[in-house]
Amino acid sequence: MSLGPTIYFNVRLLDPATGLDSIGALLTQDGIVVDYGPGLDKNSLPSKARMIDCTGLCLSPGFIDIRVHLREPGEEYKETIETAGQAAATGGVTAMVCLPNTQPPVDDVSVVEFIARRAREAKLVKVYTYGTVTRATEGEQLTEMGLLSEAGAVAFTDGTKAISNAMVMSRALSYASGFGLIIVQHPEEPFLAKDGVMNESEISTRLGLPGIPTAAEAIMLERDIRLVEMTGGRYHAAHISTADGVAIVRAAKNRGLSITCDTAPHYFALNENAIGDYRSFAKLSPPLRSEDDRLAVVSALADGTIDIIASDHSPQDQESKRLPFIQAECGAIGLETLLPLTLELVHNGELSLLAALEKITSKPATLFNLPGGKLQRGAPADIVLFDPNKPWVLREENFSSKSKNSPYDGRPVQGIVHETIVDGRSVFKFAP
């Protein structure tokens, strides 16, 4: 279907890729960005264009979320590709990369093709997938990364499982480097974390809960960095949560190693105190850490040590979460809270608006070689309109996700998505 010309004018254009931050206009037609900029005169544009006055709003590239649990195939009672797509659109996310630990896992070309087909049927946001590093994420036999990559897998990870066998990780880094692909690690030493359910600290002692020491993250990172030095592979550490982890990645980057990392809003917006009186909605993997760790993560976002912010959207149904803390599943939904929680860094004076947006637009696009993430003439019109200052309160009943497990229910925030546009089509529009 042909999409006629649409002009978004009187809008604050934000593009971290070029440093653009200016009032201007943007013209789309047939799903493509035709032109944009501060000098775009709406009077010289197509007379029959649909005119949208965006006074007070920002327009940026659509957000790219590199860490999303879709739960389909296998756990559709928690989330489906369609409901995750609706949640993503609500949150301004125009492209998401799903984790491969589905049932069956994404270790076969047929599963990659299934996800792509279901995403086309949903017709919401763009969906990419990881392939697993090892068969069935069992940490032993490597998958056919070349074939999976040809089918569409953008990188490789065993999801929430660390690749604990050093020989397997070494071979994975070498194998993937032949295709220029990234290995994404869940950096947590599994034997140290095995029985833990929260951060090891005075609080875990007081609550009587087994803890996971921060060393679990540091040890795995130190080992993997040695393997990166040995193999020359590309390595990305997921959801960094500790001050020690930040320091290790910073030192490795300073040595020029091909290492990148991300964190999730949980690790800069919350600390272990959010667990309160055994609040299972705050049970996450890795666990919420101390206030000193949270501050270290914020500093690492500010100085560029942490490259990307990913939602780590992990939907869980009530039967999995409303259990005693030790028995409850880990995870929190995050697609719809990605923008307002990221903007807390801006409102607190810790990052500029462009620097914050870079971590959810151009950085993930560049590091994972994904389309989008910047404003570009001739590129698909994947954009988002948002108000960075609008105050509101996060309420679980308003979430589009099929599951409602969020530790942010009732949290006052600033910043809301007004419209999400994918290939020129409006896939979400805020209705006050």
* Torsion angle (degrees, nearest 10) of CA 325, 329, 330, 335: -120
Which residues of 72-111 form beta strands (DSSP E)? 93-98
Spatial distance between the Cα atoms of 103 and 69, rounded to a whole number of angstroms? 12
Q: Closest Cα to residue 309, out of 339, 279, 346, 347?
A: 339
Tokens of 150: 């040809």
- Residue 245 identity: G
Q: Which residues contact 189 (CB under 8 A, 6 or more apart)?
A: 162, 164, 215, 216, 217, 219, 220
Tokens of 204: 């875990």
Annotated catalytic residues are 312
3-state secondary structure at position 335? helix
> Is there a contact between 308 and 262 (Cβ–Cβ < 8 Å)?
yes
> Is there a contact between 5 and 32 (Cβ–Cβ < 8 Å)?
no
Residue 77 has phi, psi (to 5 degrees) of -70, -15
Spatial distance between the Cα atoms of 3 and 16, rounded to a whole number of angstroms? 27
Helix (H) or strand (E) holding 115: helix 109-122
